[in-house]
Structure 1
Amino acid sequence: MPPRSAPRPSRALGLAKEDFDFDQEIVQVRRQVKMVRTKLCFALPKGRKVREVPLPPSVAKAVWRHLDLFAPVPVTLLWDDPTPPQTAVEAKHRRPRTYNLMVTGRERKAINRNYFNSYVWKPALAEAGVIAPLEESAPDGARVWEPSREHGFHALRHFYASEQLEAGESVVSLARWLGHSDPGFTLRKYAHFLPRAGARGSTAIDAVFS
């Protein structure tokens, strides 16, 4: 998993059709597409925290639309470490696994998170006017965007957490969905995303004395 300062689309890029249970209205976070020494492999999510997250009907509808437009692609990668195994135990643990990925590249392969960030996420932000467009490449041919850590892919996670808390969802449930072992950490991390939270307390007291 990338360091904290890096973008984190790895889990989204590892989503497969079989992770969605439309009847139970849940999506299972069970893997990520991880890069190890320039090679991709499947691995457990960060902290090895497999979990189930609610799948709202509106999101399920969007997923179905995506499936209608883009058929899932079976992708096979080694598990956890793409380097050649040295022992029978390593060979068993790293054996190839195949999943029907929801998002793949033009060559119908798993996507490198760095490629996604530079060629998909940042261009989308520029198109939406969130960051400045990329006018030209660096001398070495690299695509260099303006620093925009606050607009990284991880911002979607912040948005989800803040909306859940603002709606009054239990911080214990939210911590479980985010993969946090300590609900207190979840509250400390996302409390500042609640600009209207104090208004609910005032409204509650007014209701008691009115």
Structure 2
Amino acid sequence: MAVRAAMPERYRVLVEIGAGLGLRQGEALGLSAEDIDFAKEVVPIRRQVKMVRTKLCFALPKGRKVRDVPLPKSVARTIQRHMELFAPVPVTLPWDDPSPPETPVDAKHRRPRTYSLLVTGRERKAINRNFFNSYVWKPALAGAGVIAPLQESDRSGSRVWEPSREHGFHALRHFYASEELEAGESVVSLARRLGHSDPGFTLRKYSHFLPRAGVRGTAAIDAIFA
């Protein structure tokens, strides 16, 4: 929440999208207003904003796995408030690969598509993740005291952020997964929500985020024999 408070208001909803829905960064940046079903309380994840050779395009999620993610009421309220302040913007990008098509089949597959993105930059365009990470996310981390402020790194006076891979946007997805498991959600359901094909991978990746793993099992046995 401290990191969220340190971000410009137009980007803050990305914290709820990452931590409340478990989306990858590209999926969060590619989320469209039309995707969100407030009535059924579900968010279909159908695309991401992907960078290919420094250019942006729309593409299927990682592994080409589309999925549905439950929409918590608190996240729905935050998204609705965001949409009242920042109306979704129609953005047109090529599909899957921004390079010029070489065949009619390529041209058909890569034809530009338009979606009303929930979050855009000040220029009302899709967000470049490199820009976001360097000029929005890391300054917010520094503002919240998670990482150090920018420091001069060499004689040229260039300024770089301290290494902070573990504090990247993906940490929000880790937060979502660990909270879901700690609350008792099944690994199978969580794997489906995260877009993992193997629940075993989900368990191996996130089990160490459970500081109280095993407590519920012990309590269950105590309840039987007490």
Using structure 1 for the length normalisation, give the TM-score: 0.92
The sequence identity of aligned pairs, in percent, is 80
* Whole-angstrom CA distance in 1 between matches of 2:158 and 2:130: 12
Which 4+ residue blocks in structure 1 deviate beyond 6 angstroms? 137-142
- Map of 1:4-15 to 2, 5 A cutoff? 9-15=25-31
**Corresponding residue number in structure 2 for 1:85:** 101
* Whole-angstrom CA distance in 2 between matches of 1:65 and 1:127: 24
* Whole-angstrom CA distance in 2 between matches of 1:52 and 1:81: 25
Counterpart pick for 1:59 among 66, 69, 75: 75
Q: In the TM superposition, what is the alpha-carbon distance from 1:29 to its structure 2 partner?
A: 1.1
**Superposed CA offset, 1:122-174 (max 9, x none):** 01111111000114587778652100111111111110000000000011010
| Structure 1 residues 200 and 182, CA gap change in structure 2 (3 angstroms) | same
Counterpart pick for 1:74 among 90, 100, 104: 90
Structure 2: segments with no counterpart, 5+ residues = 1-23
Structure 1 vs Structure 2 CA RMSD: 1.5
Amino acid at match of 2:81: R
**Corresponding residue number in structure 1 for 2:14:** none
Secondary structure of 1:110's aligned partner:
coil
* Whole-angstrom CA distance in 2 between matches of 1:139 and 1:85: 45
Amino acid at match of 2:183: A
Structure with more relative contact order (C-alpha pairs < 8 Å, separation 6 or more) = 2
Contact 1:49 1:179 in 2 (8 A): yes
Contact 2:88 2:116 in 1 (8 A): yes
Counterpart pick for 2:53 among 31, 37, 59: 37
| Structure 1 residues 38 and 140, CA gap change in structure 2 (3 angstroms) | farther
**Corresponding residue number in structure 1 for 2:123:** 107
* Whole-angstrom CA distance in 1 between matches of 2:33 and 2:164: 31
| Structure 1 residues 76 and 140, CA gap change in structure 2 (3 angstroms) | farther
